[in-house]
Chains A and B, each alone.
Chain A
Amino acid sequence: MNPLLIYRIVCKDLKSELRGKETINFMFLFSFISLLMFNFAADPFSPALTEVGPGLLWFVFIFTGMLGLSRAFIKEKETGTLEGLLLAPVSTEDILYAKTFYNLLLMLGIQLIAFPLFIVLFNYNIAGSALDAFIVLALGNIAFVVVGSFMSALVMNAKSRELVLQIIVLPLLLPVIILTIISLRKVMIAGVNLLSIGEVKLIVFYVAIMAVLASILFEYIVEE
């Protein structure tokens, strides 16, 4: 693992993304429109919306991420730059780490915009601290990005890969989807302090297992 090389790849991805802004614009608009649509899940002034709010907020990220993340490796494949990246004097794991980190930056960027939007649109009173809720969401997003980036590399050689990705990722993500919703509900509805939530530790545990597994298995995906 070479932090400098990882940083370079992340910079490259960010630069090419900021030139075209294809994914960022799309992800932002999608999260915005889905937040808007979820408002119609219940009467906007009813307490039911408070009850389901944390879950809906988290699903906005799952869906936005799902549509955006698949681009990470597939874009390289489509433009034919993956071979260049693999030929570069970088270890294969570093490519995975860089892509994961880049995806995380995207997700955190979307989160920075979508989280305040959620509070405004849902007129939501967070019982605990807003920062805690933000951190829980970020943790969920880290888990999502670790699994999602790896799986997007896995499906890049498949036909209709964007569709296959969703089917593969969602069952694997179920533990973290459940744990994040429980933690979010505890922070946003019950007002529990972040450090006293046991589920948060389980999310970290999940991330650790998946990250280790992904970095071991990644070389089998790109070897050819």
Chain B
Amino acid sequence: MKFERKHAQVFLGTLWIVVLAAMYKVLFGLGPLKEELLRYPGDPMRNGYKIFFFSMEAAAVTYIAFTVVLLGSAFYLKTKDMKWDRIASSSARLGLVFTTILLINGAIFSNLAWGAYWNWDPRQTSSLFLWFTLAAYLTLRGAVDGVETRARLSAVLGIFGFVGVPLTHISTTIWLSNHPALYDTAQSTGFSLDRSGLILFMTLMTSFLALYIYLLWLTVKIDSLEEGSQKVFSGEL
């Protein structure tokens, strides 16, 4: 059976219903954090911990998107098949969107947990540089003419940028350990989920992943159609 527009609509509709239901359940169904986990009375993390349900999912999708960029780039250089380039570039675009979501969620979490929207936490800083790397990748794509050259050069950057991410994380961690701590970052993240929380978490995670895969499929398809139409216009077909 071929996956067509009708199926896509049904899929997307179901996904939205699941996501909205899960979000409603997270926001209004889950109780506040247990008293013994609060750092002080009136701790904003009492209900604020729920942001975790959204930022964690965005983070997972971001890392998956970035891995797909790496794999797509490597396979492109190996096979020179434009399919891989389309996958890598689409994943980079989606990755940029999800990293933006992650950064905004992360800033809200940071403000609740540590008292400042930007706390130079290693996770925060390396997410920002992930964002910059993806933006640089897309900037390079925009600046190169010629389909093959663009694919080749951006694939090289895709691989290079991926290696930079763990190194950035290591160096920002060291950077912070060299400075007096402004806020205690070790505190306030230790809470565990009960059974219903875990189910909600997994539901949201699965639907975020499904959304990413669906959008990836869609952008790859649009790109290949666009390329085909350009070939028709330029008389190659």
A57 CB, nearest partner CB in chain B, Å: 18
- Tell whether, in the assembled complex, residue B132 and residue A217 are in contact, meaning their CB atoms are under 8 Å apart: no
Q: How many residues of A contact B (CB 8 A)?
A: 32
Residues on the A chain within 8 Å of B156, using CB:
154, 217, 220-221
Q: Could you say which of B54-62, B99-107, B137-145, B187-195 contacts chain A?
A: B137-145
Q: Could you name 15 residue pairs across A and B whose Cβ atoms are closer than 8 Å?
A: A164-B140, A167-B139, A171-B132, A171-B168, A172-B164, A174-B129, A174-B171, A176-B171, A178-B171, A178-B172, A178-B174, A179-B171, A179-B174, A182-B174, A217-B160
Q: Could you say which of B4-12, B13-21, B147-155 contacts chain A?
A: B147-155
The reply to whether the CB of B218 lies closer than 8 angstroms to some CB of chain A is no
Q: How far, in angstroms, from A172 to B166 measured CA to CA in the complex? A: 11
- Tell whether, in the assembled complex, residue B139 and residue A154 are in contact, meaning their CB atoms are under 8 Å apart: no
- Tell whether, in the assembled complex, residue B174 and residue A199 are in contact, meaning their CB atoms are under 8 Å apart: yes
Question: Which A residues fall within an 8 A CB radius of B?
Answer: 150, 154-155, 157-161, 164, 167-168, 170-172, 174-176, 178-179, 182, 199, 202, 206, 209-210, 213-214, 217, 220-221, 223-224
Residues on the B chain within 8 Å of A150, using CB:
160
Interface residues on B, range: 20 to 34
- Tell whether, in the assembled complex, residue B143 and residue A159 are in contact, meaning their CB atoms are under 8 Å apart: yes
Cβ-neighbour of A155 out of B135, B140, B167, B168 (below 8 A): B140
Chain A residue at minimal CB-CB distance from B137: A168
- Tell whether, in the assembled complex, residue A167 and residue B135 are in contact, meaning their CB atoms are under 8 Å apart: yes
Q: How far, in angstroms, from A79 to B138 measured CA to CA in the complex? A: 28
- Tell whether, in the assembled complex, residue A175 and residue B164 are in contact, meaning their CB atoms are under 8 Å apart: yes
